[in-house]
Amino acid sequence: MARRPAAQGPPPERGHHQARRHSPRQEESGGGIPDGLLLGLIGFLFAATLLAWTATGLAGLFTHGSWPDNVTFTRTPLALRELATAPQDLPAAWPHTPPSQLSGFGLFWGLFIGELMVLVVLTVFVLGSVARWRLVRERRREERLHGSYGTPHQPEHSHVPESPHASHQPNDTPHNAHEAPAPGPLTPPPPLTKSPETPPRPQPRSHPAEQDTRRTTPGAPPQPPPPAALLLPSPRTPLLVYAPAPDRRPTVVQAVREAEGPALVVTSDPTVWAETKDARAKLGPVLVYDPGHLCDTPARLHWPPTADCEHPDTAAVRAAALLAPVRPQARIDAAVADTAQTLLQCWLHAAAVDGRPFRQVARWASGSSAHEPVRLLRTHPKAASGLAGLLESALTAYPERREVAQELNVRAFSALSSVHIREACTANRSDSAALASFAREGGTLYVVGEPIEDPRTRPGAMPLLTALASHVVEHGRRMAARSSDGRLDPPMTLVLDDVAAVAPLPQLPALLAKGEDVGLPTIALLRSREQGLARWQQHLHAPTLAPGSGHPL
């Protein structure tokens, strides 16, 4: 009993000794001038001294042709003190310098203020560059820590099935209560349509019994989503997604980021380009074809639809792509549509072999100089044989059918009245070379356009977007045909977001069915099945995915 007070005595003395030991440090850290303010004041005085010295010397040099005597950096602080009291008296500020070698005070202060402005601009530029470099470095560090696709918490899904047992462990309740809100932002992308026979369903909500359990046990995490919703798009797996635009964006962004090789991205959402362009720029060149100027960038691709139309087969495919948005679907109009495609094929070939711009094709479609392309196809040495007679027969055989076909072509080129779209159709040698080589360099081509639900009345830039996307697809097929195994390696991923309203590719059904065989895996995202049926006059099919694997069966 007597030892207890003796044992309790030393701790207060030790604590008092520690408090006495640490109190001077706390007092020293709380007083005095901050280091940053002191360094800033020293830097300001040094800069003012340097500016006053150089301004005095340069003013004398400009006035008398030589640097004044005794105008040195070490004597400048005294001169600054004199100038602070008498700004107009330079001889008093520099008493050791002959007044005849000094300039007037006006030239001196003009040079001083000019140097000060230059110094301020350089300082702001350096600070901005350093801040931008730090921001980029921090962003890259976050990408390395959290992954390139924004899924840093995926391992937490493995603990979700154990949630029913969490309420039976009282020791873990406080810990789980803090971790329960974490799975909130882990909502997976929209449900992916694995086959046209399984329509997409909304994610099921929890039953009332499960809601009561969550209310009584706040530490229990939410119920896991259905396994089908956890399937994520693979860049090598054809997918067909039906979802509204906000739900499609995460799938599109992830698919673009996961593409291993070159990628063609068709979208109506400029934010897809903004969110993925930096990541894709690390893999290869990034090109943007944006005739409507929806993206905030001055570097837009210029591409004439007459490119490579010196070959008749290419001209035929290009004509079909240009007319795809306005082509009538009724069987009774099939002859008119075929005539319009024949006319456009011949016009494209004639303009390409003669080096005419694309706007000349629009003039021929409007009816001016209708027989000029016939003459070119007959007399030009590079023109393909047989197209002159085909064009002449289309122009003279059925006048009523020809007039309707010409109106169809005029409607497809109605967007050329806009300056931006005419500029996008102007040939550019550097852009043509970049477009031809982007697939070999692992680059990315973004085709961005305004979504149009009824293009047959107002197509806008949709024919041009469709023609470019079709051109890239055909270019990929030719590259695959020239390879030894008959496919592209690495594959060219086609991410077609809102493709029915932006660029309805005529090759889309074939790409979904056989595109992966030639190294053109396709991910098509549409608003609904009805939209695809109305655009392609058939049900679109995609390979069935193996459960939980993301690969076709």
For residue 292, give the CATH number of its domain. 3.40.50.300
Phi-psi region of 147 (alpha: psi -120 to 50; beta: other; left: phi over 0): left
Number of folded domains that form the chain: 3
pTM beyond 0.75: the answer is no
CA distances to 159, 229, 251, 257, 499 from 149, rounded to whole Å, are: 21, 17, 11, 7, 23
pLDDT of residue 435: 92
Range of the domain at 482: 235-303+428-544
Q: Where among 125, 143, 161 does a domain terminate?
A: 143
Residue 128 has pLDDT above 70, yes or no: yes
How many whole angstroms separate alpha carbon 103 and alpha carbon 499?
Answer: 72
Q: What is the mean pLDDT of residues 349-357?
A: 93
Query: pLDDT digit string (tens) for 58-115?
Result: 988 888 888 998 888 888 898 888 888 888 888 888 888 888 888 888 888 899 999 9
Together in a domain, 509 and 525? yes
Together in a domain, 299 and 432? yes
pLDDT of residue 205: 41
pLDDT of residue 476: 92
Residue 532 has pLDDT above 50, yes or no: yes
Average pLDDT, the chain: 79
Together in a domain, 452 and 378? no
Together in a domain, 393 and 434? no
Q: What is the mean pLDDT of residues 112-140?
A: 89
Residue 156 has pLDDT above 80, yes or no: no
Together in a domain, 434 and 299? yes
372: part of which helix (H) or strand (E)? Answer: helix 372-379
Torsion of CA 463, 464, 465, 467, to 10 degrees: 80
Q: Where among 366, 393, 426 does a domain terminate?
A: 426
Mean pLDDT lowest among 235-239, 297-301, 487-491:
235-239
pLDDT of residue 9: 45
Q: 301 near 431, Cβ under 8 Å?
A: yes
Instruction: Report residue 234 as tokens.
Output: 């693979």
Q: Where among 143, 164, 196 does a domain terminate?
A: 143
pLDDT of residue 553: 41
Residue 517 has pLDDT above 80, yes or no: yes
Is the model more confident about 173 or about 350?
350
How many whole angstroms separate alpha carbon 410 and alpha carbon 135?
Answer: 50
Percent of the chain topping pLDDT 90: 40
Query: pLDDT digit string (tens) for 280-319?
Result: 999 999 999 999 999 998 889 999 999 999 999 999 999 9
